[in-house]
Amino acid sequence: MKSVPFILVLLLAAPLAVRAQDDAVTLPDIIQGAQQWAQDNLDTNVLNALPRVDDPVVQQFFRDIQQRFQGDYVVDLAALRQAAQVVLPLLESSEDTQPYAAWLKAQMDYLAVADEIQLTIPPPKAETNQPPRSVPNPPPQKERELWVKKVSVSPWPALANEYVPELKPVFAAQKVPAELVWMAEVESGFDRRALSPAGAAGMFQLMPETARRFGLSLWPRDQRYQPEPSATASAQYLKYLHDHFKDWRLALAAYNAGEGRVQKLLDRYKTDSFDAIAEHLPAETQMYVPRIEATILRREGANLEQLSAPQN
């Protein structure tokens, strides 16, 4: 993370200094207090010092993709594929927006698979005087088949040669299957610069609250961008989720959509199965879990549901 200019620290410290004048607070005390206030109150994107993306095409695309990722229907993402192909070069053209480009590159396969679903699943029959209905979500097994097909032709990520051997022991040390390190291919393409419009950052796309929850510092240097600390926090979170849900598919769904959301669906449908709730999860999560499954199968020849945690 870029350092916040010293003048910004002083500006943030000014209100603290006024309130503390009667207590003879020293300048180091003020600066330390300002830094803590910034860490607790400023959005991480502001602290990254990345400029706002002023291009209206990019702004609209970011709004659309976040809305559709959180929407009900996977196929709705297909409409964004062409826009993404326009936006990606715009983001890559500036050093300041390349972290967003790194994030978007990792999302392109979602749009491609959604486009394939649109072509292979017939739309529901239109009813007279009724608005057209959305294409239904494919069942989980169909999505797994589509992702196996998609990932089977995916080239080996160049950055994996550097990071996979380095980070597998990190996962193993947290008693999490080392094969799950490949979730970084899905999250960011192993690009540690990746930054999403929602504020998730780094190779494992940790949100600020999750990063703090598992001991990462966002100030003065954002540890989400550091491979080993972010891998440690990610593995700790996965272990916590698996200990709770007792199932890797559900743990990954919760990593992506939030543990509360997954638990509410399990309670609502009185189940402990990912497949029973998959079509009710956000569109991104519906594809995220089978995509990671297919990636681990392709890279490691391992089945997600059969992964076991290291014991030593």
From 226, 97, 94, 227, select the one nearest 160 (Cα to Cα).
Answer: 227
Local structure of 114: helix, strand or coil = helix
Residue 72 makes CB contacts below 8 A (sequence gap 6+) with 134, 137, 282, 283
Cis peptide bond prior to 28, omega within 30° of 0 = no
From first to last of its 312 residues, what are the pLDDT tens digits of the chain? 333 333 333 333 333 333 333 344 444 444 444 444 444 544 444 334 344 556 788 989 999 999 999 999 999 999 999 999 999 999 999 999 999 999 999 999 999 999 999 888 777 676 666 666 677 899 999 999 999 999 999 999 999 999 999 999 999 999 999 999 999 999 999 999 999 999 999 999 999 999 999 999 999 999 999 999 999 999 999 999 999 999 999 999 999 999 999 999 999 999 999 999 999 999 999 999 999 999 999 999 999 999 987 876
Identify the pLDDT of residue 282. Answer: 98
The Cα 153–Cα 137 span in angstroms is 24
Contact 219, 38 (CB under 8 A): yes
Identify the pLDDT of residue 122. Answer: 72
Domain positions in the chain: 6-42, 56-122+132-151, 160-306
Identify the pLDDT of residue 14. Answer: 38
Identify the pLDDT of residue 127. Answer: 66
Identify the pLDDT of residue 182. Answer: 98
Identify the pLDDT of residue 205. Answer: 98
Identify the pLDDT of residue 312. Answer: 60
Identify the pLDDT of residue 56. Answer: 86
Tokens 């291009």, located at residue: 55
Q: Identify the burial level of 309 via C-beta atoms within 10 angstroms of its C-beta, where 0-12 means exposed, 13-18 middle and 19 or more buried.
A: middle
pTM of the predicted model, to two decimals?
Answer: 0.82
Sign of CA dihedral 171, 177, 183, 185: positive
What type of residue is 20? A
CATH 3.30.360.10 fits domain 160-306: no
H helices present in the chain, as ranges:
6-20, 27-41, 44-47, 56-69, 81-92, 98-120, 140-151, 160-173, 183-188, 208-213, 227-245, 248-257, 259-268, 274-277, 283-300
Identify the pLDDT of residue 67. Answer: 96
The Cα 58–Cα 50 span in angstroms is 15
Identify the pLDDT of residue 43. Answer: 47
